[in-house]
Amino acid sequence: MRSDAPTQPSAQPAGAASPGLSKSLKPRHLSMIAIAGVIGAGLFVGSGAAIQQAGPGILVAYAAAGLVVILVMRMLGEMAASNPETGSFSTYADKALGRWAGFSIGWLYAWFWIIVLGIEATAGAAIVHRWVPGVDQWVWALILMVLLTLTNVASVKSFGEFEFWFASIKVAAIVGFLLFGIAAILGLLPGVEAPGLANLTGQGGFFPNGGAAVLAGILVVVFSFFGAEIATIAAGESANPVSAVKKAVRSTVWRILVFYIGSIAIVVTLLPWNDASVAKSPYVAVMELYGIPGAGVIMDIIVLTSVLSCLNSGLYTASRMLFSLSTRGDAPRSWTRISKRGVPVAPVLASTVVGFITVGLNYIAPDTVFLFLVNTSGAIALFVWLVIAASQLILRRRLGAEAKNLTLKMWFFPYLTWLAIGSIIALLIGMVILEETRESLILSVALAAVVVALGVWRYRRGENAWIKVDAAAAEPEEAREAEPALRK
């Protein structure tokens, strides 16, 4: 496909999955994958530090960060509904910005999730180790990684089932938390006095640490939203990807409002923002206020579920991005091979191997090598969002009058697209200013510069045609069917 094509063509027929991949993800799987993408362990644990930093004003930070994510998801949804592809924004970057861009952002995104595997496996192992201290923590990390690898290798349906139940537990926990919280705020919960506005305004005001703390808080909370885009990647392995993308994108607004802003509002309304228990674990503190016995253990179970969900979806996402890169000639061609169950086994195993290495490094050199690797992925979320916005801006303009045929459109184009781009750039500038994030940004930029340089060097002649995949590396019939579309 030429990068200056006047329309927004797809590497495959609209509504098709990648060659040979199974289409066994059901609507209920995709609905829960979309929900799980924005509910991570960071919400249950990391939100405490954010509340301590900005006070009740952290709600403004969550709302601002959520707005950026909603805009990004709408832009991604516009492109994905038009051309659903497993490579998602990486393939759209190919078409909008050039082959070097798709190569670069695809590898950076895969790297981000592979690093997450090491982080989440270690976090999950720490929880299980507290329950069974007789078994070394690294053994539990190994067990969790092996378990989720087998799930992903077995079939995409098994991945979907695991993610469905993981997400169901998280959703049930938050819904219960919200219902109890609303009852407590209204004075309907026995033994809990209605707080009124005392905790929102009576502990130094709504912005006790000033507006600067809220701006800094945005940088803390914005990364907890990363993962919402997974639904657009998984949609390629469903029977009706276009419908799945639309539902996932349109539900982003209420998911952020209810799960994040709603639950954080419960915390800061019921408890003083500067309470030590809030900093340690805000959700446990509120559950103890409800009088729920064993709140700490219950939260450990919920956090472990979130960790397993992140491991499961992280391995899936990294492997599918590597598979998409391989179909475009940007990764080893052997990675295009698909099992009889429709799973790209090699990319799954490749992601797992590097994940195992990062887990090992976390035990051997946690404060040096592992910390360095984690920091190299710190700003990748913002890079991905920036590429999505830039790709949508370019591809939408190329469509011209044909844009009226889009089934899902970005609101108030191009004004909100430019607002999103400006907001993301502002967040990157904020990472430079904020001392705690500066090193992570520098290392992320350094890694991105190396990957982009490789991409530019690889396509230095301005070549934008898809690289032909070796027929022996993919299912012959499916590859032959897909090739004409790939060459358009």
Going by C-alpha positions, the residue among 427, 370, 310, 241 that lies closest to residue 45 is 310
Residue 428, pLDDT score: 93
Residue 475, pLDDT score: 44
Cα 314 to Cα 111: distance, rounded to the nearest angstrom? 10
For 95, 108, 416, 469, the CA distances from 332, given in Å and listed in that order, are 21, 16, 38, 10
Instruction: Label residue 247 by pLDDT band (50, 70, 90).
Output: confident
Select the highest-mean-pLDDT range: 232-241, 260-269, 363-372, 462-471.
260-269
Is pLDDT above 60 for 411?
yes
Least confident piece of the model among 234-248, 276-290, 324-338, 396-410: 234-248
Residue 12, pLDDT score: 40
Going by C-alpha positions, the residue among 35, 33, 32, 411 that lies closest to residue 254 is 35
Is the omega angle on the peptide bond into residue 414 within 30 degrees of 0, that is, cis? yes
Residue 468, pLDDT score: 42
Higher pLDDT, 75 or 306: 75
Higher pLDDT, 330 or 461: 330
The mean of the pLDDT values for the chain is 82
Is pLDDT above 50 for 178?
yes
Taking the CA atoms of 259, 262, 265 and 271 in sequence, report the sign of the dihedral they define.
Answer: negative
- In three-state form (DSSP H/G/I as H, E/B as E, the rest C), the secondary structure along 158-173 is HHHHHHHHHHHHHHHH
Tell me the pLDDT tens digit for each residue of 117-137.
888 888 888 889 889 998 888
Residue 478, pLDDT score: 44
Q: Residue 463 forms beta bridges with which residues? A: none
Least confident piece of the model among 10-19, 36-45, 201-210, 334-343: 10-19
Residue 46, pLDDT score: 74
Is pLDDT above 90 for 116?
no
Tell me the pLDDT tens digit for each residue of 414-464.
999 999 999 999 999 999 988 888 899 999 999 999 999 999 998 885 544
Instruction: Label residue 38 by pLDDT band (50, 70, 90).
Output: low
- Residue 278 — φ and ψ, nearest 5°? -70, -40
Is pLDDT above 70 for 362?
yes
Angle of helix 295-327 relative to helix 99-131, nearest 10 degrees, comes to: 150
- Residue 341 — φ and ψ, nearest 5°? -90, 5
Higher pLDDT, 443 or 8: 443
Residues 342-355 have a mean pLDDT of: 89
Least confident piece of the model among 30-34, 272-276, 478-482: 478-482
Cα 189 to Cα 18: distance, rounded to the nearest angstrom? 52
Residue 126, pLDDT score: 86
Instruction: Label residue 289 by pLDDT band (50, 70, 90).
Output: confident
Residue 189, pLDDT score: 85
Cα 206 to Cα 56: distance, rounded to the nearest angstrom? 5
Residue 461, pLDDT score: 58
Least confident piece of the model among 47-51, 220-224, 260-264, 478-482: 478-482
Instruction: Label residue 20 by pLDDT band (50, 70, 90).
Output: low
Residues 89-101 have a mean pLDDT of: 92
Residues recorded for the chain: 488
How does DSSP assign 139-206, residue by residue? HHHHHHHHHHHHHHHH-HHHHHHHHHHHHHHHHHHHHHHHHHHHHHHTT-STT----TTHHHHSSS-S
Cα 416 to Cα 414: distance, rounded to the nearest angstrom? 6
Measured in whole angstroms, how far is the alpha carbon of residue 172 from the centre of its chain? Answer: 21
Residues 273-300 have a mean pLDDT of: 86
Is pLDDT above 70 for 486?
no
Residues 48-69 have a mean pLDDT of: 90
Residue 479, pLDDT score: 41
